[in-house]
Amino acid sequence: MGLVNANLFPPLVFTGLLFVFLGFFAVQPKAMNLSCVETRDFTIRGTSLDPLIKDGTMVKGLLGYYQCNPLKRGDLVIFRFKTRKELFVKKLVGLPGDRIEFYGSYLRLNGKILKNSEGKPYLLSERSKRILKAPLGGGRIPEGKFLVLSEKAFPTDFDSRQFGYLEKEHILGKVKIDKS
């Protein structure tokens, strides 16, 4: 003889299935909205994102992506300055409201030392510190501004350590790396 009350079994099964069903939808990642996107192939020139993207790698550029999708930490963003023709790709690491602190020659973001994909901490020169410190209000990245970095630990690469925070109006889209 089992110890399960036969009258309780169907409601328990239903409740269990309901939790599994709702749990399935609760953990599904939100799909990209591609209604605002123009897809274009690009060839990466340079080694600033190595090892994430090697020189000569073909990538998909999702131009207009952020017109209908939020900017997310870790995205590889395509941007252009008004004064330059070329497009650039860097990793988005700091969002508006994030706390920035300088710890010796290191940069701390929300209390943690920023590191590249190889686990090496990003280094700052005195010039880089001045560039990044100037617009901070209360030690936080201002609204509408973003911190973008290369994969190079040294502060000589062309990223926010050289040109400051990137304005949203300069961000044209997102890079999608084909994993094939």
CB atoms within 10 A of CB 141: 22
Q: Which domains does the chain show, CATH number per domain?
A: 38-176 (2.10.109.10)
Q: Which residue has the tokens 């936080």?
A: 140
Contacts of 125 (CB under 8 A, 6+ apart): 105, 155, 161
Helix (H, G, I), strand (E, B) or coil at 110: coil
How many residues are listed for the chain in this entry? 180
Q: Check: CB of residue 49 under 8 Å from CB of residue 76.
A: yes
List the chain pLDDT tens, one digit each, 180 residues. Answer: 333 444 544 443 444 433 434 444 444 445 677 788 999 999 999 999 999 999 999 999 999 999 999 999 999 999 998 888 899 999 999 999 999 999 999 999 999 999 999 999 999 999 999 999 987 878 999 999 999 999 999 888 899 999 999 999 999 999 998 765
Q: What is the 3-state secondary structure (H, E, C) of 147-168?
A: EEECCCCCCCCCCHHHHCCEEH
